[in-house]
Chain A
């Protein structure tokens, strides 16, 4: 049984503004104090996790700890994105809360990148990462509306995003070839789109199975990133 609710234009606008979180729109400005406060807590938590995982008594090596952290954050991204899409389509009243937490996960990921490559890289990563979430929002909205052209545009944007993301990481780390990263991110898109489609189409069983597959794929990205970073900074991430 399909349970599709057509999103009102107001909800769609809120969805776009909240998920993209560009820091420019009025709604985002209104919620920024809360986001900032929570983000500070989350960033601290990330730092504490790193410290705990990479401490002298930690059972895991530095590189393994990094891989574990990135895997957790990237898989969290997939599930939170799935929840946000689900809420946008099925339970709009809960969408904003889920989108806000999804953005906290984005900030956590950016903080992880920043802990290795510095504040500029953290800022750039966050902007890029948020942009791909916005593209998924565009895709979802188009899917709900039955707008094939809009879906294709969003898919094209996501393909370009994969290339951009590859270029970004390659610029930061010579051990991460742009094409290889782009392929990995492209697979992330390809594994998440079926979940979005199934959510919009009201096929819950396929939706959650697809989400599990998409989350599983993220470990491949985490493995590649952690290996590349460890190769670049072997003293900081031994093992």
Chain B
């Protein structure tokens, strides 16, 4: 699995990209957006093509994270720290698969990115 974390805005990434990360290409990939809003990730399920960037934006006046894996089973593929409203970060999903994530602070907040070849 290959993930790339892109820093944007006031994003503070709490962990580096996994060891299999690849450099960002010159081509501009498709970007989809997931919002943390009202203590939920919306859309909760998102389907993208391999190589797509997914932007995670915090719309709440409270600290959220976007942490890969499931509650109690964090897989350390990515971990975005979005400490305040407006904070944002991106993850590039290169490999097909189903990638779950949650907020490590508010464990009921969960989402899935499904990566499928077109």
A167 lies within 8 A of B60 (CB):
yes
**Closest 9 A-B residue pairs measured CB to CB?**
A127-B108, A124-B39, A167-B62, A124-B40, A167-B61, A124-B38, A168-B39, A164-B62, A120-B40
Instruction: Decide yes or no whether B55 CB sits under 8 A from chain A.
Output: no
Not counting A128-B108, A164-B39, A168-B39, a sample of 15 additional A-B residue pairs whose C-beta atoms are within 8 angstroms of each other reads A22-B71, A22-B107, A24-B70, A120-B40, A124-B38, A127-B40, A127-B109, A128-B39, A130-B108, A131-B108, A164-B105, A168-B60, A170-B61, A171-B38, A171-B61
Instruction: Decide yes or no whether B98 CB sits under 8 A from chain A.
Output: no
Binding site for B on A (CB under 8 A): 22, 24, 120-121, 123-124, 126-128, 130-131, 160, 163-164, 167-168, 170-172, 178
Binding site for A on B (CB under 8 A): 37-40, 42, 60-62, 70-72, 105-109
How many residue pairs, one in A and one in B, have C-beta atoms under 8 Å apart? 50
**Main secondary structure on B side of the interface with A:** loop
Min CB gap B44→A, angstroms? 9
Question: Would A128 and B61 be within 8 Å (CB), given that A168-B38, A172-B38 are in contact?
Answer: no
Min CB gap A158→B, angstroms? 13
A24 lies within 8 A of B62 (CB):
no
Question: Would A121 and B38 be within 8 Å (CB), given that A163-B62, A171-B60 are in contact?
Answer: yes
A-B contact pairs, 27 of them (CB 8 A): A22-B71, A22-B107, A22-B108, A24-B71, A24-B72, A120-B38, A120-B40, A124-B38, A124-B39, A124-B40, A124-B108, A127-B39, A127-B106, A127-B107, A127-B109, A128-B39, A128-B106, A128-B108, A131-B106, A163-B62, A164-B106, A167-B60, A168-B38, A168-B60, A168-B62, A171-B38, A178-B61
